[in-house]
Chains A and B, each alone.
Chain A
Amino acid sequence: MSKIDPVCGMEVDESTQHKTLYKGKVYYFCTANCKTEFDRDPEGYLKSGPRGMH
Chain B
Amino acid sequence: MSEKKEKLRIVGMHCATCVNTVTKSIEKVKGINGVSVNLATGYAEVQGDFKLNEVVESVRKAGYDVETQEIKLALNANPEESSRILNSVTVEGVISSHFNPATGVLNLRINPQAVSSKDLVEKLSEYGVTLLNNDKAEVSAIKKDMNSMVYSLIVASLFTALVLFYQYTGNYIYAFVFSIPVIIYSGRRYFKGAFRALRNRTADMDTLVALSAGTAWIYSVIDLANRGEVFFDAASLLVTFVLVGKTLDSYLRYRISYVHVPHFTARLSTGEIVDADQVNVGDIVIVKSGEVIPVDGVVYDGTGEVDESILTGESVPNKKNKGDPATADSYLVNGYLEIYVTRRGGNTYIAQLVQAVNDAGTSSVGLKRTVDRVTAYFTPVIIVIAALTFFVWHMTVPVSEALLFSIAVLASACPCALGLATPLAVLVQVRRLSNKGIIVRRGDALEKARHVKTVIFDKTGTITSGQLRAIPATVVDGSAIAMAAALEGLSSHPVARAISSLSGIKMNVSDFTEFIGEGVMGSVEGHNLLVGKREFIQKNCDKIIDGDIIVCVDGRPMASFFIEDEVRDGVKELIDDLKLNHEVLIATGDSSSFADDLGRNLGVKVLKGLSAQEKAELVKSMENSMFIGDGVNDALAIKQAYVGVSLSSGSDISKQAGDIIVNSPAAIKLLIDGSYKLESRIRENLIWAFGYNAVLVPIAAGILYPAIYLPPQFAALAMSLNSVAVTLWSFFRP
Interface, chain A (partner B; CB < 8 A) = 5, 7-8, 10, 17-24, 26, 30-34, 36-37, 42, 52-54
Contacts and interface: CB of A to CB of B under 8 A. Distances in A.
Interface string B537-576: 0011000000000000001000000000000000000000
B518 interface: yes
A36 B555 CA distance: 25
**Interface class of chain B by DSSP:** mixed
Contact of A21 (B21, B515, B613): B515
Given A8-B15, A31-B14, A31-B15, A21 B20 contact: no
B515 A20 contact: yes
Nearest to B612: A32
B530 interface: yes
Given A21-B536, A26-B513, A36-B611, A31 B521 contact: no
Contacts of A52: 16
A41 B458 CA distance: 27
A2 to B, nearest CB: 13
Given A21-B536, A23-B539, A26-B513, A34 B518 contact: no
A45 to B, nearest CB: 13
| Interface size bracket, B side | 20 to 34
A20 B538 CA distance: 13
B63 interface: yes
Nearest to A30: B15
B63 A7 contact: no
Contacts of A19: 513, 515
Given A21-B518, A24-B540, A36-B611, A54 B18 contact: no
Contacts of A30: 14-15, 17-18
11 contacts: A5-B15, A18-B516, A21-B513, A21-B518, A23-B539, A30-B14, A31-B14, A32-B63, A32-B613, A36-B611, A52-B16
Contacts of B16: 8, 10, 52-53
Given A31-B14, A37-B17, A42-B539, 11 more contacts: A8-B15, A8-B17, A10-B16, A17-B516, A19-B515, A21-B519, A21-B539, A23-B540, A24-B540, A30-B15, A31-B18
Given A10-B15, A53-B16, A22 B539 contact: yes
Contacts, number: 58
Nearest to A19: B515
A24 B539 CA distance: 8
Contacts of A31: 14-15, 17-18
B19 interface: yes
B518 A20 contact: yes
A18 B17 CA distance: 14
A23 B536 CA distance: 10
Given A26-B513, A36-B611, A36-B613, A21 B17 contact: no
Nearest to B20: A53
Contacts of A22: 539-540
A31 B516 CA distance: 13
Nearest to A52: B16
Interface in B14-63: 14-21, 63
A14 B637 CA distance: 29
Interface in B560-612: 611
A53 B39 CA distance: 13
B18 A21 contact: no
Nearest to A8: B17
**What are the 5 tightest A-B residue pairs by CB atom distance, in nearest-first order?**
A30-B15, A10-B15, A8-B17, A53-B20, A53-B16
B68 to A, nearest CB: 22
A16 to B, nearest CB: 10
A52 B18 CA distance: 11
Give the residue among B63, B515, B519 with the most A Cβ atoms within 10 A. Answer: B515
Nearest to B16: A53
